[in-house]
Amino acid sequence: MRTKITLTASIAILALVLSACAPNVTGSTVAARTISVNGTGTVYLTPDIAYINIGVHTENPEVGKAVDMNSQKSQAVMTAIKALGVEAKDIQTTNFSVNNSIQYDPTSGLQTGTIYMVDNTVIITMRDLAKMSDILDASIQAGANNINSVSFDIADKSEAVQQARLLALENAHKLATELTDGAGVTLGDVQTLSYYDYSPSPFYGKGGEGVDTAASSAPINPGQMQLTVDVSIIYEIK
């Protein structure tokens, strides 16, 4: 029995000695060396689609007549637009409203009557920009008296986005190479990668509350739109 107790004690003492001599692995861990860079890719595009926001405004002391007048003019505008090849799916009503304005005598201040105002606004999607002037002219001639805005966009941005992403990656890699070469270290593998797409917003041309027949001859230039992609990359350095 005495021998067994002595042996157990010896093993316990040996375990304590080995534990004290063990290296501190956690404290000796070396953090990975990395470099973080950003890259930008930009592509310029020519718009191939347009959105025209037009409206018909009518006024009359009788609400029924104001609505009827507006309906007739609005229908005439739709007919004129469709006659130029615009499909029904590309004409969207965005607002129809009826409001009233009480009239007062400027001298006595007494109420003299009420004027009812009716507005009907539509957005026309133009897939053939060459017809834009014709569409504006036909709309105005048919009774549209508000050209609220003209905007331009890109129908399919997928190829341009892909191109901008590749440019952004090239830009980031070039910067990382320049920095590591200058610092005398070697560029390693990609550790993390993130990107941000900034699709171009439609460009809106100047609109107005009212128009006349001369407005349709105003020059309208779609110009160019800018699509930008940003990337952030963390590389290992050796």
Which is nearest to 47 in space by CA: 163, 129, 124?
129
pLDDT of residue 218: 63
Residue 170 pLDDT more than 70?
A: yes
Q: Read off the pLDDT of residues 103-150 as tens digits, 9 standing for 90 and up.
A: 998 988 899 999 999 999 999 999 999 999 999 999 999 999 999 999
Domain 31-48+154-238 has CATH 3.40.50.150: no
Residues carrying CATH 3.30.70.2970, the chain? 54-148
What does the pLDDT look like over 174-233, one tens digit per residue?
Answer: 999 999 999 999 999 999 999 888 766 555 544 444 555 455 556 788 888 999 999 999
Cα–Cα distance for residue pair 229/67, rounded to 1 Å? 49
166 versus 208: which is more confidently predicted?
A: 166
Cβ atoms 129, 47 nearer than 8 A: yes
* pTM higher than the cut 0.75: no
- For the chain, what is the mean pLDDT? 85
CA distance 91 to 75: 12
**Would you identify the CATH topology of the domain 54-148?**
Alpha-Beta Plaits (3.30.70)
User: What is the pLDDT, as a whole number, of residue 96?
Assistant: 96
Name the segment(s) of the chain with CATH classification 3.30.110.170. Answer: 31-48+154-238
